[in-house]
Structure 1
Amino acid sequence: MGAGFAAVPGMQAVAAGTNAAAAGDSLVQQLRGEATGSVVLTQERATGKVGFVRSAAGGDLMPSLEGDSLRGAVDKANAYLGKYAGVFGATKDQLRQTDAAAGRYGWTVTYKQYYRGLPVFGSTIKANLDKAGDLTSVNGYAAPGLDLSVTPRVSKSIASSHAIGTVHANPPGSAEAPADVTGLEASSAELVIYRTGAIRGQQGTNILAWMVGVTNAHGVNDRVFVDAATGKVVNRYSLTEAFETNRELYDATQDQAHLEWKDGDAFPGTLTKYQQDLMYDAGNSYWLYANTFGRDSFDGQGTKMVTVENYSDPNDPNYCPNANWNGQRINMCPGSEADDVVSHEWGHAYTEYTSGLIYQWQPGALNESYSDVWGETIDLINGRHDEGETNGPRTDGLCSQFTRGPVGVLINSPASIAKDCDAAPASYGPVVTKTGVTGNVVQGVDTAADGSTTTDGCSPFDNAAAVSGKIAIVDRGTCTFDTKTANAQAAGATALIIGNRDEAPFSASGDGTGITIPTVMIGLTDRETIKTALGGGSTVNVTIRDISSDPVDNSYRWLIGEQAPAFGGALRDMWQPTCYGDPGKVSDAEYKCATDDNGGVHGNSGVPNHGYALLVDGGTYNGVTVPGIGLDKAANIWWQTQLDYLTPMSDFTDMADSLDAACTALVGQPIQKLSVQRLTPGGPAAPITAADCQAVSAMEQAVQFRTPPTQCNFQPLLAKGAPAACGKAFTTSKVWGDDFEKGLGNWTKGGSTVYPDGHGYPWRTTGSAPGSHASKVAAGRDPQGGSCSGDADDVSSVDTIASPAVSLPNGASRHLVFQHYVSTEAGFDGGNVKIKVNGGAWKLIPAGAYTFNGPNSTLATNDEGSTDPLAGQDAWTGTDGGQVHGSWGTTVVDLKAAGAKAGDTVKFRFDMGRDGCGGVEGWYLDNVKVVVCKKKSNASGRHAAVGTRRH
């Protein structure tokens, strides 16, 4: 499930002998002392509390109690958490038992955290006991330090309105193909306790929030979290998991398809080959889990598995090829029916009903990876294609020859423009080979619907005779990319070049059904170079070819989606993720640090994908040799991890701890061979051994499950650790200041709007400051919303507060100091400080006057589309790195450098500017003051020296 913002740091191990006060030092020592055998603890980075406790093989965390029955397991788990709930960040009265399940190897007792009757979002604690009744592990996430009101200041209806507005203003999907957001409604809204930053593995605060479900009939299914005190949106993610092409993933129509076939009908009956494949693949998914793990459908209750074929969105011609699980069924575009694609989508269903991994950041990457793991596992054993065991393991470090590698467009002639052009291969159609295609280029010409002549290839070519046998070139336009290729192919072209409208070519997506010629994209400058030469009568000859220089494997093994005709080739490579620009280990440059794709859930799935492939086949990677343990053992360990150990908030470090615990629990236990055949279990597999668990640990080291992605280097907008305004040799005296505890009475408010009917947000004081700031503050709001249309909802405006006049005394230096919090629409909304000296004009304080935490950027100009009255000025704008929030920091201004000297009278004005729409939270101020620095007297020093003389 899910959506999100920056990379998730892993958890840190609490080493024996270190200070574990954050996790409850005395309780930790008591916990260790009570257990038999060694105990491994892992600290949850987001909370500082323990996230995982496990005993070594043969150990018991609570040997004083028996637990060799379901009732005994529950009693033992209750007793343990009754003593040690605080270690995990909860109190014993906050934990409610929600499940107690008997498995093949013991019992799992599950708890959720509640506070004053409200659920704590994402909280889950699991206690695992083996068949002997030993408590082998307790793990999960709880929000510590809960002490807040559960009475919302913001009503359910207002929160729902804000949530709907957020989704409407920022539709899911890509910028080129946003989802249809007509008919949005709040399908649910409940109060929860929400801890900011927890999903990202970052320290945060506990708030009361409305969790609002926003849906419509066109596939939008988002969860939006709205602060119940302020009405601000604090997080949002999608509940719709979708198979990734090289575009953004989103749903299309929710209409139920006509019933074509059901179990019990004759098979194949009238089903087409495409329909038969979909039913085979759904059956393979069902029987893998049923035969091997004893699970009856994705929910364990035998629920019907519904597949919708020929799925498309009439409101979005670019949606297909794609596939998705929407929480009730899987939806498949034509041509996406490969076994690993279909099984990938069913994998999302099983994840939703087991670990429930939140679809953001590292939890979301694990969610995506589990779908790839089960999809490829089925692909390798079902015998329906040519990717199975007969291919054998891949070579360490090599891409597959069936990977869409880097391509180039070499202009051979005329000599005056000969060069290598940057290019990107389409995700559909045949793979470009190393030999490639060489030919003369012809500009495709077609006629638009309005009768005008165009060169975008969206209609059948008017000059088909000239194009036939040549390489066609067309511009980007409004139609789908595969439509352009189909029109070029129909005209007889041998290949198609699409010229982008900017300099960065990307991999065009589309339905590859029936496409037999390769397609590539080049950048704007190269496009214009070729078109200019053609327009001048020159013959332009090019070669389109695969430009990779590395050797490749002749193997489909570990490729995802390679048999789906609509994709025209694989989408990911689990054996060598970097072949597709995905990370194979956490420290790789390919690791996604950006906020798009829910925090890189598809790209960063490469890390656990690689871990699974490496554990199955074995190999040396990152200087670590991993013995291969085979599919049967690896799949059983992966499933047990998913079923009994992972929680919605689990990150990569949790994955490592969970794999270790699951493997230890499975040592010597009976496991089943993998089987996807109806009612045909695979029979007993070789048991898992301690050596296999050592291989698991080696794999975790190789892919760096426990290594935080420090290369992302997300930083707060305002640096921490502000120096004192005056140095050690000076005394600091406050000349004037205001902490806003009595409101804005001493300040003069002002402001203006760009449009007569528009409005702003005048400064005001509030006791509900963001970022765990307890006192009252001044608030220059920048909420989400607005219209950018010049009407009454347009918020193009500036609001100001000006200080009273302050006389500057003599001193070595004089400084303006203030604390503030910034969370605005980056580049378009923001604030800055003006100064007025001796009644003169207001002037922007220059950048050189700031000695700490000056404005971080320049606001967009009017030419760049901004309607902010502060457009083009230096300002504080944006949010903390990788987040949708800010944090408090201190700014220091040298008033001399700002143009004010001793004896002057000054005023300060804080301006908060906005363009017409968008926004996040705003600009918040506190403890504004003017200080003067004076040199310390050295009299005390002389007195001390006299005191040391002998008389």
Structure 2
Amino acid sequence: MLGNSGCTITNSSNNLIGTSSIPIDPYLDTLQDNGGPTETHHLLSDSPAIDAGNPAAPGSGSDACQTLDQRGIARPQEGDGAASAVCDMGAYELETGVFISSGSQQSARILTSFSSPLAVLLLDGAGQPVQGEVVTFTAPASGASGTFSDSGTNVTTATTNASGIATSAAYSANAVEGSYYVIATGTSTAGQAELSATNFDYLDADLSTHNVDNGSTLPGTFLCDETQPDCTSGLVPDADAAHDYANDTYLFYLNHFGRDSIDGAGMQIVSSVLYDDDPSDGTPFTNAFWSGSLQQMVYGNGGNFAQADDVVGHELTHGVTDFESNLFYYYQSGAINEALSDIFGEFVDLTNGKGDDSAGVRWLIGEDGTLLRDMQDPPVYLDPDKVSSNHYYEGDADSGFFGDNGGVHTNSGVVNKAAYLLTDGDYFNFHTVNGLGIDKVAAIFYEAQTNLLTTASDFNDLYFILPQACTNLIGGAEGITAGDCSEVQNAVDAVELNLQPATDYNPHAEICPQGESVNDLFTDDFESGLGNWTASWLGGSPVSGAVAADYWSSQTVFAAEGTSSLWGNDFTYFDGSLPTDDDSDDYVFAMNSNVSLPVLQTAYLHFEHSFGFENDNWDGGWVEYSTNNGSSWTDIGSMHNDGLAYTGTISAAGDNLNPNHQAYVGDSHGYVSTRFSLDTLKDEDIRIRLRISKDSIGYDLGWFVDNLRIYTCGDPPAHPEPQTPTGTINIPDPDFVWTEGEVGATGFYVQIQDAQDNDLHNAYHQNNGGLCVAGSCTLDPGLILANGDYKWRVRAWNIGYTTAPWSSYMNFTVDVPLPMLIDPVASGNPYGTTPTFSWGRLVGEAWYQLYVWDSSLNPVIDGTWQDANVVCSGSTCTVDPGLTFAEDSYTWDVVTWSITYDYPGESFVVSLGPPEMAVEYNSTEIVDGDTTPDSGDGTDFGSVDVSSGMVTRSFDISNSGTGILSLNGTPIVDISGCSDFTVSTQPANSVTASGSEAFELTFDPSGVGACTATVSIANNDSDENPYTFDVTGTGTVAPEMVVEYNSTEIADGDTTPDSGDGTDFGGVDINSGASARSFTIVNSGGAVLNLTGTPDV
């Protein structure tokens, strides 16, 4: 058939040809994916090409049609409307069959009716509706199923109308929960339709709805749970609606994705209505929101938001986003967050069978409460429908972080428009998008939400993510095809997700030129913490209770890749709390270690970052480098090479400590990337630090940094190839030889392994002119190899520090005749300090060399020659080297006259034995753990005068063992419990075997009374560690003696008696007289006065 016969043709039978003036219209649909390897044209129902092919049997030759149509499907189809099966003309043969019209993917509570009856469409092969055919609807005979109102059973019939549609009687769920299919079949039309249905109980959704009653305390008074589907039965309309629509949202996610509640694990959905954030201001709270911290829904007492099913679905989807992609609520990632909520909220609205879903309100958000947005035509509400729209909110520097978080509610219109185009189809911005319907589009966005989007995904990411999400679902239960994914691509192109709203709005720096490999010298994606960095202050001080590290932290809320990023605080804690005091601050986050840059190749610094610094350039951040281990730092800004450069200058009008400094200021509008060239720093050891300087007032988002790397770009050199050793060799220390590969390689890694894949050598060797000559490289790794099997390989490192792949392994075997070593051996007990060495005698060998190495591979016996006639007797040779060995582990071997290579063959240990510690006083041992001091062992220091006395005693630490006694405490002798005791002299930190070390304790009482302290000495004596004992002493005050006569003191030492103090008795008659006087001994001191003479006076 020709649609235009204006050319010269030869007619033949079965051709349909019009004239040049009146051509025959073939009535073709647009070129599209109807299945098969190429796109095809669908014949419209009134096309003259239907049943116009050759009536001969398909594939019979001549002019007969092909057996298969262009899609690879058999033709012709039965029931084409012709008396016999005749091919359609063209590449595509329309199938006859039974197709779903409406009623599929419904949910109903057990023992209740589904909201819509079940309906199917019957078409014949010409695409024409089939009228008058009986259709049988059959639900499962057991398990989750239902009954039809006309039959009272799980089976009913209905007859197609003039439009080819058969509609069942009302259908109700039985008492069994579950999902299933109702099968619809025609009497004569081929095929069947499978309508999905789900029976549920409210117990599937864990609901808890509350009334805040115009207050601000959440969650408010409990009203109802999932067992009360009508909640308050009209008493609190907002509660009834919020409760019902929360269940609708739960069911949408359950039925479409098998998701059990917001978190996917059955969490309770808590809803609070009639909330007022400030009841005292007299103004209702006109908003609804999902509280991520409280994990519940909140509906204000204004705006009727709880009455809007799409708003309920919107806000609960914010909860789903929290548990899945966790898109950061900022600029484009926040706009995607908002759009996902609009999309799924509207899908709940359009599928729950409630409210007005007519064409005029089909894509409005909040039409049942407060109108907010139009997803079909976003500019109606001044929202953009494509990135280049003049309604796109680019963010104003004066609004900074406060401009709707970067226009999240405005710029969501771009993604909303894409969802509308994908669902219903339309022509927009020079692109035609054929609609896929709610089920497929919901599946695509859910795949993006749960598996592809990350916290910082932007529109450009979404441009690639949505087609990828579609591709991931091809062939799945949703019925998504490659053709559907072409429509997804058309939609993201139509709304320009891959474009920038303005030049350099979100610039990104290329890591390396296309085709060049990236060779990292340092990378940190901050997924494993901040161990590579240290935070510190240069000026100002942290707020009260904070430290420098609080201003640089790891966060999981906004990462360019993975889950974590570095966050530099612009003076607000991320939980939203604000400081109690502040000043101007200058704080940095610096690398702990250097990175060595190559000599001849340029290195780069590259990182991804997003920042929001306080508006009007009051605050800012920049990058610095150091080439002297952090002693001094230089701004790296002049080395900017690609991506976002510094965006301005810190204001000098405030009190910022770095006025007029070039920095990143203002907002980055989400994640960008930056590259600095380190070309002028070749051969330097550098480290990087990030620096933020802020004034004393205000705050903003701060600085997020991710995927920081220092690297070079370049291709690896050609592979070097191992040459020798290979096969079996009879020497234990071979050289290793390989081809150089690409001339000019900086160096080579050489790896040598034993048969158990243990590395014996794995190190880098610089190609400094002596390693490789004329394309051949030779290395002596200094290994002495035991007999056995080995393998080795090599790889190159070029001047850009680019590592080439490893070569293949070269295998070899060492087989050297060596004496059998007899003693000492590793399996033996520790040896004393004078070991002897024995080995088996080899027939015909007249001389042997004995080698012994200590644990550091220092030679102790370095190849001393031994005459077999002297040291050998029978089959055994024995040598006493006459040396005293220190306590250590050793390796030894013996080689013969004919094999002159050092060979570490056997190991042994020399041990001096354990130490044995004791503490003594005047040769009297103080028992370890003694808690009863006495004078006999010197631990009771007795009474000491407080005012004038102190006692110092010397103690000895003895070691009666054979090993060194290590005193490893800090301090060596520690004393605690009474500060009047001190260690006045510390001992040495080790005691040789049979040796001793002295220490001194001093008791200097500060008050009257007993005082006890504990001495503790940490050591390596296994059964006396630590060695402890108690010491005690008593502080006293001395007596004060006075002799008085009649209260008059007689001075001590008075040699001049007088009558005044009674010491002059005057004259007394020697014959008859006697004079007696009474004197008093007075003690005015603080201690007992003991009269110690004999007699007392």
Q: Do both proteins adopt the same fold according to a TM-score greater than 0.5, normalized to the shorter chain?
A: no
Q: Could you tell me the TM-score, scaled by structure 2's length?
A: 0.30
Higher-helix-fraction structure: 1
- Give the greater-gyration-radius structure (CA): 2
Higher-strand-fraction structure: 2
Q: Could you tell me the TM-score, scaled by structure 1's length?
A: 0.34
